[in-house]
């Protein structure tokens, strides 16, 4: 198992834009090979844990970007504040819309908007990463993290609404 980096672990090139199907396929293969039930020693458990952690890092744009920066020797503190007031205003508006609606169509619109913004930041990250414009790449990474958290909250609200809808069916 190539442990030089998470990309090598999954047989992927070191890049932001990855083949997520290949990542998932490699995960399943590695999980079969290194499942703790096959070999109950501590090394197998540690390898399984490393595989799962590496998958989580590479499967999300924000953590994948942060990991690429780390591999490039760029220290990234994702908890540092974003100083782009226009971006923060837009995020506040999206958050207010999310918090004040129970309409699935509105939630889908918000989700589409956040996905588009994530794609913009992903493109921005890739360009700045390739150009070694580290401050801009780090800023894009922080924004990707912010957008990723917003998408998680949107998905949670949609799931809650859908589950409430199914509860009504029980009382018909």
Query: Tell me, what's the pLDDT at 171?
Result: 54
Side-chain half-sphere exposure of 129, counting CA atoms within 13 A: 23
Q: What pLDDT is recorded for position 56?
A: 96
Compute the distance between CA of residue 118 and CA of residue 91 in angstroms, rounded to an integer. Answer: 12
Tens digit of each residue's pLDDT (9 = 90 or more) over 95-111: 999 999 999 999 999 99
CA distance 80 to 89: 17
Model confidence pLDDT, tens digit, residues 20-57: 999 999 999 998 887 666 666 666 677 888 999 999 99
DSSP string of 111-136? HHHHHHHHHHHHHHHHHHHHTT-HHH
Give tens-digit pLDDT for 59-96.
999 999 999 999 999 988 888 889 999 999 999 999 99
Q: What is the DSSP letter of 83?
A: -
Identify the pLDDT of residue 42.
62
Percentage of residues of the chain with pLDDT beyond 90: 74
Can you list the domains of the chain with their CATH numbers? 4-58 (1.10.287.110), 83-166 (1.20.1280.20)
Q: Give the per-residue pLDDT at 53.
A: 95
CB 74 within 8 A of CB 137: yes
Q: Is pLDDT of 167 > 60? A: no
Q: Which pLDDT score is estimated for 165?
A: 66
- pLDDT at res. 34: 78
Q: Residue 37: its pLDDT value, please?
A: 65
* Residue 168 predicted with pLDDT over 60: no
pLDDT at 96: 97
DSSP labels for 18-82? --HHHHHHHHHHHHHHT-TTT--SHHHHHHHHHHHHHHHHHHSHHHHHHHHHHHTT----TTSPP
């Amino acid at each position: 198992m190539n442990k030089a980096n998470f990309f090598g672990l999954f047989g992927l090139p070191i890049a932001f834009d990855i083949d997520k199907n290949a990542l998932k396929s490699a995960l399943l293969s590695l999980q079969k090979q290194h499942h703790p039930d096959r070999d109950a020693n501590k090394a197998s458990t540690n390898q399984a844990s490393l595989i799962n952690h590496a998958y989580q890092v590479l499967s999300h744009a924000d953590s994948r970007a942060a990991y690429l920066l780390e591999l490039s020797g760029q220290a990234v503190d994702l908890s540092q504040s974003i100083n782009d007031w226009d971006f923060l205003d837009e995020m506040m508006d999206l958050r207010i819309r999310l918090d004040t609606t129970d309409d699935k169509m509105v939630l889908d619109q918000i989700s589409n908007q956040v996905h588009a913004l994530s794609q913009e930041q992903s493109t921005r990250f890739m360009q700045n990463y390739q150009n070694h414009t580290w401050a801009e790449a780090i800023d894009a990474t922080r924004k990707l993290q912010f957008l990723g958290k917003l998408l998680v909250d949107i998905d949670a609200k949609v799931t809650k609404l859908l589950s409430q809808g199914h509860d009504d069916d029980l009382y018909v």
